Each structure stands twice: as structure tokens, then as C-alpha cells.
Amino acid sequence: METSNGGAAETPPADVNETSETQATAAAPDAVADPPSNAADAAAGAAAVAADANHVLDANVIDRSAHPISRRSIPENVLKVLYRLHRSGYRAYLCGGSVRDLLMDRTPKDFDVVTDAHPAEVRRLFRNSRIIGRRFRLVHIIFQDQVVEVATFRREPERTVADVESEDFLITDDNTFGSPLQDARRRDFTINALFYNIADFSVIDYVGGLEDLAEGRVRVIGDPDLRFREDPVRMMRAIEFASRLGFEIEQKTYEGILRHRNEILKASPPRVSEEILELLRRGWSRGAIRLMVDTALLQPLLPEIYTAIRDDHAAYFWKMLEVLDRTVQAGRKISDAVLLAVLMLPWVIDEIEREEQRRDSRMRMGDVITFIRDLTQPLCARMSLAAGTRHQIEQALETLWRLLEPPTDRRSQFRAVYREPFNDALALLELYALSSGRYVDVFRQWQAFAVRVKRAQEEAEQGTVKRRRRRRR
């Protein structure tokens, strides 16, 4: 990739494949004035621009001709937002995951815009917008089938020596506007801090993200000791991006995780649980959970699960995640309850076996159900899971045990299939059977039975519709 230093304006390339209607007017990105909304903001804005001016030569600016991002891969609504901001005299950059993914020729999950216009100014430019967020105010621009999120450049809050000495690194207030450089530096990883500038279609790199992207590295921006203490969830995000993109975690970043893993307990449990789900949900769970175990970041969070899956304690579990990833990649939706039940399964199986050894007898179904509830409830509470999800996890696990011993009479079989958690439990049984090789026949039997029941149900419904129609005539 060819690069050129400096933030000088580039004339937008006459890209023959893109309509002139969507061409930006050529304005130097660094010549765009920052229209401040009040005196204090004006001072802050001027300081930010001045600070940036000192660093702009440090930025790597990659011309349109030297990177693969085409406007054709940016949704029209996002382009509209970028162009309107730009034509109104503001800087307008695409940022974060979208630039990373476009450079890697992947489809971005969402397209975030960042600008030097303040939220109220953005709000004024777009009738179809609203300001959201209490802590950091963002603007949502609402289109028929899409919401485009626009943020104002911000910087990390100043930390005093007292903060550092008291080891109080957790970010509690990050609502401070900043310059593009400061905005890049407050982001988590170098690959997540690239900007795409609509003024000249260049990519701006303040933090060495392009090199890390090319080398396949997840590197925290700045000092890992500080950045992981500020926000411990970044350690899980490092693992997420490494497994998701097939990247390695850069050495200092990795060592930072090893040093600070226990601080993950300072993060808010709902946020951590959401991140755990994010690791399981999207087809890269095997690599992600492997890294959670290898770094032992899972240990402080879910010690019982960590013990059940570490080393080779549950070989089938890793196969199970492989099957899960394939299932998800094939487009099948797996509920959050099943995902979490998968994670808990080796532990639940171990505990039931241990209990049976202690009792020196197999537990009856009623006992198993109570045992699973008592076991999983404290863990679910610690994870701050929603009551509905907790209930579904319990039900999925309980029903799984019921399915393992299929009733012989048809009526009980029917009752099982009609119970609400049947589908979750069947999905769980499928993952377990296909990875452990156990209960495969039981799974096939239930699957065939469920298909027959569904078909019969559909036929019955069609029959009712036909009968009704006939009657009406």
C-alpha cells in the first residue's frame, strides 16, 4: 500500500465508475474550520486543532489510488450524511470497524461517522435526526431502513497524577470533545482507529493501524497497562477481534491481558456478559473461548467453567464450539440461552456426575432438575442475565436431560415436543451429540419425531383452512 505523509488536500480522484453527483467538493481536510457553538467550546476546539496541527505530519494519509475502499461499498445513506457534513464545512470521516472491514474486503456490521460538528450542529443539519445518550451524546440520523450514528471527535479525559497514584484508572466520564488525532488515540486498537475522509477519499492513520492490519495484529493503542485498567472489557475485545479476524494478539497487548486479567471483575457484569455472548454468537466461538482459557481471562469471570474446560478436561467441548460455529456460519439462529447453556454444559455434566458419585446412585429426573437449578442460578445471577434468559437456560438444560431418556409412551413424547424449551434443548442435544458422539441415536429419534409432529401439524392447519373455505362457499 503506497502512503504519503501529511494532511494536505488531495483533489478527489475522478473515479469514472462513481457518479459526479456523489463527488465531494474538494476541500482541504485540515483547512476546514471548526465552527464552535460557544466560547468554551471555541477554546477547546482551537486547542484541539492546534494540538492536531503538531501531529498531522505524523499521520499516514493514503491516497484514494493506494487503498481499496470504494464509495460503492458504502451505503447511500451513509454517503449522504458524510457529504452533507462535508459540504457544510465540517470534517466528516467514516471510522472504526467499517474502515477496518472495508480495507479487509469484508462487509461492515455498521458504518459509524465521526465529525468535528457538535451534536447540536449535526442535529440542525439533519431533520431526521435525534440526539441520544446521556454520557456521551451522539446523533442518530434516521432513514427508512437504517440509522446512521454520528459522533463528535472526542478525547480521553485528562488523568491527574492523583488519579494515577490512587490507581483510579476506570473511565467514568468520557464526554470531552477533541481533535481527530485525540479521537484516534482514545480508541481501543490500532486497527479500529483508521479514518476514511470523504473530502478526498483518503484513509488517515494516526496510530499505525494500517501496518497492523497488513500484518494481522491486534495491538492496543498506547500503554496496555493503562488502557486495560481504564476499561477492562478491552481485554475481551482484543480476544474478539483476534479470533474474528484470524489475527494474533501483539505481544505487549497479550502480556497486558495476562497481567490485568483479574481486573475484568471491575467491569460491569451486564457489559461483560454481552461481550461473552458476542464471543459465542457469530461463528468464531472456538478461537475466542480458546483464547479466554489460554490467557486465563475466563478464570476470574467464570472459575467453575474455566476449571471444567481448561487443558483437556472436556475434549468434546471444543468440537461442540466448532459445530456451533459452522451452524451459525450456515445462517442458523441460535438463541442466547443455548449459547450460554453450551458454555455451561461441561461444568453441569461434571457436577452431576460428581453428585451421583457422592450419592453412589443415579439421580432421578426430579432431582436432576432441582440440582441444575441450584447449580446454575448463582452463576446466572453473577452474570446479571435477564430473568427471561436465566429461565430459558435452566429450561434448555433441564429439557436436555429429559430428552436423554426418551419416554416410551407416545403421549409423553408429544408432550415433550410441544413444550416451549423443546427447540432449545434439541439444538443443545444436536451440538452435544455431534461433538461427543454420545446420544446420536437419541438425537436422531427426537429430530425425526419432531419433524413428523410438525408435518402433521401443518397438514392439520391446511385441512382446517380448506374446510373453512369450503364452508364459506
Residues making contact with Mg ion (CB under 5 A): 97, 110
User: How many CA within 13 A on the CB side of residue 96?
Assistant: 15
Q: Which of 31, 37, 68, 109 binds ligand ATP (CB under 6 A)?
A: 109
150 forms bridges with which residues in the sheet? 113, 139
Interatomic CA distance for residues 247 and 189, integer angstroms: 12
Interatomic CA distance for residues 348 and 314, integer angstroms: 12
Residue 97 sits in the site that holds ligand ATP (CB under 6 A): yes
Interatomic CA distance for residues 245 and 219, integer angstroms: 13
Number of residues that bind ligand ATP (CB under 6 A): 12
Closer by beta carbon to ligand ATP, 23 or else 73 = 73
Q: Which of positions 165-194 make contact with ligand ATP (CB under 6 A)? A: 187-188, 192-193
Cβ neighbour number for residue 374 with a 10 Å cutoff: 10
Q: Which of 45, 96, 232, 256 binds ligand ATP (CB under 6 A)?
A: 96
Q: Considering the complex, what minimum distance in angstroms separates the CB of residue 399 from ligand ATP?
A: 32
Q: Which of 154, 217, 234, 260 binds ligand ATP (CB under 6 A)?
A: 234
Stretch that binds ligand ATP, among 106-114, 294-302, 314-322, 393-401 (CB under 6 A): 106-114
Residue 113 sits in the site that holds ligand ATP (CB under 6 A): no
Residue 45 sits in the site that holds ligand ATP (CB under 6 A): no
Q: Considering the complex, what minimum distance in angstroms separates the CB of residue 97 from Mg ion?
A: 4
At 381, which helix (H) or strand (E)? Answer: helix 365-382
Contact 234, 227 (CB under 8 A): yes
Closer by beta carbon to Mg ion, 109 or else 455 = 109
Using Cβ positions, the residue closest to ligand ATP within the complex turns out to be: 97
Phi, psi (5° rounding) for residue 391?
-60, -45
Choosing from 15, 41, 63, 110, the catalytic residue is 110
Interatomic CA distance for residues 189 and 187, integer angstroms: 6
Interatomic CA distance for residues 152 and 436, integer angstroms: 50
Choosing from 52, 112, 183, 424, the catalytic residue is 112
Interatomic CA distance for residues 459 and 104, integer angstroms: 48
Q: Which does 34 bind (CB under 5 to 8 A by kind): ligand ATP, Mg ion, none?
A: none
Interatomic CA distance for residues 55 and 23, integer angstroms: 28
Residue 183 annotated to the active site: no
Contact 54, 42 (CB under 8 A): no
Which x/- pattern, by CB under 6 A, does the window 194-233 give for ligand ATP?
-------------------------------------x-x
Q: Considering the complex, what minimum distance in angstroms separates the CB of residue 35 from Mg ion?
A: 28
DSSP state of 154: B
Can you give the binding site for ligand ATP, defined by CB under 6 A?
96-97, 109-110, 112, 187-188, 192-193, 231, 233-234
Active site residues: 110, 112, 188
